[in-house]
Structure 1
């Protein structure tokens, strides 16, 4: 229940009512600690798209058509922002233009605790896409939401994307000025934290990253939810939730302080940017929202999340290790995957960073492993590591046969133009793989002969790879990794690529270069 010394009596009564209405606790879960589809997303009437992955770790990302949001983390029986049983919740995008604040329509959610934000005008929804994408790095799950900020001439296009199996999702907000003069604005992203079922915690600052952190005496003291700015000049603030809303209500940028870092409070957090949008132009600001059950205190402040496939492998079966670090350009250093690092076990594999993500493959002997991804750090970013992830390797071979088929976007490929190859995996007999493990547990390797081009995780029973080709004929093989239950398999498709007859030179057509 959200009660505090700073709450007025009216707000205290309101928040108590909100808690009772929001919880629906008896129906929220079928087993303690396991989030299920029974968790309510009512009474909010806001039209919403939901990015949903059955095996998490971000089990659901609710995205309102007026730039509000809510997150569910696998293993929890409540949502991660207040109110704990309402989606979308008290989390979203805010914009100040002049002396006017624009915000999601929190009053329309039925339950909210954003009263201290003061007067605001709800964004005017323009459009919202369905969830698209396969969940891979090149084709993440995506929702595009467009709103208008009153009569300011500013239109906001928010793109929320999530890569399957990661502990963070990305938000890009583009502000377009349809007017005839430059407009100055302040853009905010802020939330009322409800981390791991707790309405109170501490703050944490890592550079320009701000986080809500669990109480050190709680059952999960290392849990954090964090905003990781990907655009420069961001300011942050972490404090009592009411102070965060009050700070936005002043119509000023956040002041880079963390009152909640030294005391446990009913906390919230936010980041902000000053933005000047020229007439007819646009400006984009981006960040990650990260929720992790681990901490990086022993190996550095950089947060790292992992995606390991398959989590249960057969004997002598290569395992695909991938990780994402909250770092910025120029993305140097190495990512090392340690198997049972705490007991001094061996390095599974190590790879150089070329972006925020890195991956490699390795075979482990039969056994149960706790795998940690450790980022080395560099001259621009500090080191860090991920929470451990359990990987099981069984002493035996898989037994269930599979069928794999690979298709391209169009049978008429053109030199220098993007081509997407999609490999679909089904159980022998044509029945689609069912259940969390067989549906998405594994990966596909795309190869041209002995030249391996890319490893792609399976999402929704399929994996995709996009590239460009020069003119010619290219037999591309897609190899399904298999897992402890299903047998590995492969299929080949020949890509016939035509050369333009009009003599036009298509730049960047060397094989393997991804489209720009």
Structure 2
């Protein structure tokens, strides 16, 4: 959808107000923790109408996802939500929890266990841009303020048609005069394939956490996948997940109770200096475990090399095994590929003097040649005539006529002093 930015006067006034919500909100029998809905003040929502996923993004960092493989049912509770639901980014700093305005969602919310929090303010959301290709993903940008903390947030949501996952980056900027300690949370009340019950699930290699359906074997998963390694995680009953976020620390445990009304969350802890910022990135997947959790090329270090040089590199990722292959493109020969473990490999790159300068995609193939992953612009070839080590070479300023006269006089004086000293 390519709609212009929409904001009514009522939504603008509400977005700028601070909403404090209480854990004492009345609970409805069908879902413990249901909070009283504030009517007429829901978030502005932009929908990425992709395939198979439709991603609804709220202007206060909330989401709802529709999977065409499970038609007509949202994958986050409330599943009937026509807007966004109980999933989003939350931040704790200075003893205050900032979160989406869940109680204003028209279809309701069961986030009562979050306790008291302050809703994001100063909310803006962009129109959907992009064409949905790998080179030009669909994008939505959300910007908020965190009350009077001096922190501001910026989120970019991206989706590529055909993927069963979408990505999001979340940046906090500290506009205050002092450093701030923050805990960033991404979590939700997951609704697995049209069922509010599931089995908590974690993949330790990637640090992903979420849930699977109650079938044996499981055939449907919802996973929170940290692209930036997380400091903590949890997979438990949804109310317990909200309680842990309210307390400021996730437990790093997975509930052993099967087939429960479950949720999951990730946590990142950061100290942001005055005037500084920090960014975390994550994916959320729906359906099969995505191939990026089975084989994924994440980074190359160092990520550049000059024409005519030989560079030893370390490649990081997932699912590495002897027999895997890597291709850095024309003009770069790879040798001495050694798989250290399932997340690390080393290699030697020989860059031809004629190799084209610029970014290169790094294409990896797993050991059985069944999975391929591309790290877009993962390595860069630089010019052989680039700056020498130690910084750029600066030209010597030209000397005008008066400067030349002074230089000659100075040299004569030095000569006279030296002659007298050694005569």
Common fold by TM > 0.5: yes
The corresponding residue for 1:64 is 58
> What are the residue-to-residue correspondences of 1:152-163 with 2, within 5 Å?
152-163=149-160
* 8 Å Cα contact 1:238-1:257 kept in structure 2: yes
Are 1:248 and 2:248 counterparts?
A: no
CA gap of 1:354–1:215, structure 2 versus 1, over 3 A, is farther
The corresponding residue for 2:101 is 105
The corresponding residue for 2:343 is 381
The corresponding residue for 2:225 is 228
* 8 Å Cα contact 2:137-2:160 kept in structure 1: yes
Are 1:352 and 2:352 counterparts?
A: no
Of 291, 295, 306, the match for 1:304: 291
CA displacement 1:302-327 (0-9 Å, x = unmatched): x416xxxxxxxxxxxxxxxxx98456
Q: Give ranges in structure 1 of 5+ residues lacking alignment.
A: 1-6, 22-41, 296-302, 306-322, 337-349, 356-376, 383-414, 419-455, 457-464, 471-504, 508-516
The corresponding residue for 2:275 is 280
Mapped to 1, the partners of 2:173 and 2:25 lie a distance apart of 41
CA displacement 1:348-372 (0-9 Å, x = unmatched): xx983569xxxxxxxxxxxxxxxxx
> What are the residue-to-residue correspondences of 1:399-438 with 2, within 5 Å?
none
CA RMSD of aligned residues (A): 3.8
Mapped to 1, the partners of 2:296 and 2:286 lie a distance apart of 12
* 8 Å Cα contact 2:319-2:343 kept in structure 1: no
Mapped to 2, the partners of 1:66 and 1:161 lie a distance apart of 17
Mapped to 2, the partners of 1:269 and 1:112 lie a distance apart of 16
| TM-score normalized with structure 2 length | 0.63
Mapped to 1, the partners of 2:41 and 2:294 lie a distance apart of 33
* 3-state SS, counterpart of residue 27 of structure 2: helix
| TM superposition shift of 1:240 | 0.7
The corresponding residue for 2:193 is 196
Of 66, 75, 81, the match for 1:80: 75
CA displacement 1:60-108 (0-9 Å, x = unmatched): 1000000000111112120000000112000000011121111001111
* 8 Å Cα contact 1:328-1:381 kept in structure 2: no
* 3-state SS, counterpart of residue 175 of structure 1: strand
Mapped to 2, the partners of 1:186 and 1:245 lie a distance apart of 14
* 8 Å Cα contact 1:335-1:352 kept in structure 2: no
* 8 Å Cα contact 1:89-1:109 kept in structure 2: yes
* 8 Å Cα contact 2:202-2:211 kept in structure 1: no
> What are the residue-to-residue correspondences of 1:362-401 with 2, within 5 Å?
379-381=341-343
The corresponding residue for 1:166 is 163
Q: Give ranges in structure 2 of 5+ residues lacking alignment.
A: 1-22, 300-314, 329-338, 345-355, 360-373, 388-423
CA gap of 1:248–1:17, structure 2 versus 1, over 3 A, is closer
Mapped to 1, the partners of 2:173 and 2:24 lie a distance apart of 39
* 8 Å Cα contact 2:318-2:342 kept in structure 1: no
| TM superposition shift of 1:116 | 1.0
Mapped to 1, the partners of 2:55 and 2:249 lie a distance apart of 27
* 8 Å Cα contact 1:128-1:143 kept in structure 2: yes
CA displacement 1:411-437 (0-9 Å, x = unmatched): xxxx9999xxxxxxxxxxxxxxxxxxx
Mapped to 2, the partners of 1:326 and 1:72 lie a distance apart of 25
Are 1:215 and 2:214 counterparts?
A: yes
* 3-state SS, counterpart of residue 131 of structure 2: coil
Mapped to 1, the partners of 2:142 and 2:386 lie a distance apart of 33
CA gap of 1:353–1:102, structure 2 versus 1, over 3 A, is farther
Mapped to 2, the partners of 1:130 and 1:324 lie a distance apart of 33
CA gap of 1:221–1:130, structure 2 versus 1, over 3 A, is same
Mapped to 2, the partners of 1:195 and 1:264 lie a distance apart of 11
* 3-state SS, counterpart of residue 248 of structure 1: helix
Q: Which has the higher contact order (CA 8 A, sep 6+)?
A: 2
Mapped to 1, the partners of 2:275 and 2:190 lie a distance apart of 37
Of 283, 287, 291, the match for 2:286: 291
Mapped to 1, the partners of 2:325 and 2:318 lie a distance apart of 6
CA gap of 1:378–1:192, structure 2 versus 1, over 3 A, is farther
The corresponding residue for 1:441 is none
CA gap of 1:16–1:175, structure 2 versus 1, over 3 A, is closer
Mapped to 2, the partners of 1:85 and 1:189 lie a distance apart of 21
| TM superposition shift of 1:118 | 0.3
Mapped to 1, the partners of 2:33 and 2:99 lie a distance apart of 23
| TM-score normalized with structure 1 length | 0.52
* 3-state SS, counterpart of residue 240 of structure 2: helix
* 8 Å Cα contact 1:212-1:267 kept in structure 2: yes
CA gap of 1:118–1:380, structure 2 versus 1, over 3 A, is same
> What are the residue-to-residue correspondences of 1:456-495 with 2, within 5 Å?
none
Mapped to 2, the partners of 1:47 and 1:9 lie a distance apart of 24
Flag the structure with larger Rg: 2
The corresponding residue for 1:206 is 203
* 8 Å Cα contact 2:294-2:319 kept in structure 1: no
* 3-state SS, counterpart of residue 128 of structure 2: coil
